[in-house]
Amino acid sequence: MAHTVRTITLAAVFSLACHGAFAAQSNDDFVEDASAKGVAEVEAGKLAEEKGSSADVKAFAKMMVKDHTAANAELKSIADSKKLKVSDNQQLMDKAKSMILELRSSKSFDQAYANNQVKAHEATIALFEDEAANGKDADLKAFATKTLPDLKAHLDKAQALAKAHGGDAAKQ
C-alpha cells in the first residue's frame, strides 16, 4: 500500500510540470511549460540511469537525458533571442528526486519510471501539438513541429517499456 501511495505521489509531482498543457498558450507560457517538462525529463532520466535496475530502463533514460538536453538547449536559444524566460523549476525536481529515492525495490522504480514516462510524454505531446497548430511565433511553432516526431517516438518506447515492466500506463 505504501509503495502504491509513493508511486501515485511520484506521478503527481511530475504531472505538476505538465500543468496547463491544454490551455491556450502564449509564447511565454509555451516556453515555460516546455522547458519545465524538458528539465523534468533530464532530471528523471539521470535518476533512472542511477537507480534503474534494468538495462532497457537505463538505455531509455540515457536517451531521454541526451535528447531532452539537446531540445532544452535549442528552446533556450530561441527563448533567449526573444527575451523569454525558460523554466528551471529546481524545487520541483528536488521534490521529485526525494520521492523517487524513497522507492525501495529496483523493479518498482523501473515500473514507476516507465509509467511516468508514458504520462509525461502524452502531456508534452499535447502541449507541442497545440503550439504547432496554434502557435503565434513562427520560431516556436517550427520548434514544436520539429520536436513532435521525437516526442512521439519517445512515447512509443515508453509504452513498450511500461508494458515490459508491468506498468499500467502501457499502450493497450
Domain spanning 2-12+34-164, CATH architecture: Up-down Bundle (1.20)
pLDDT at 118: 92
What pLDDT, on the 0 to 100 scale, is given for residue 67?
Answer: 97
CB atoms within 10 A of CB 127: 22
What is the pLDDT, as a whole number, of residue 57? 94
Position 107, amino acid:
K
CA–CA separation, 49 vs 56, rounded Å? 10
The three grid cell numbers given for residue 131, joined into one nine-digit string: 503550439
Query: In which region does residue 165 sit, left (phi positive, over 0), alpha (psi from -120 to 50) or beta (all else)?
Result: alpha
pLDDT tens digits along 137-170: 999 999 999 999 999 999 999 999 999 988 777 6
What stretches in the chain show pLDDT beneath 50? 1-24, 104-106, 172
Average pLDDT of the residues of the chain: 80
Alpha carbon 150 to its chain centroid, in Å, reads 12
User: pTM for the complete prediction?
Assistant: 0.78
Q: What is the pLDDT of residue 44?
A: 86
3-state secondary structure 17-52: CCCCCCCCCCHHHHHHHHHHHHHHHHHHHHHHHHHC
pLDDT attached to residue 94:
61
pLDDT at position 9 = 42
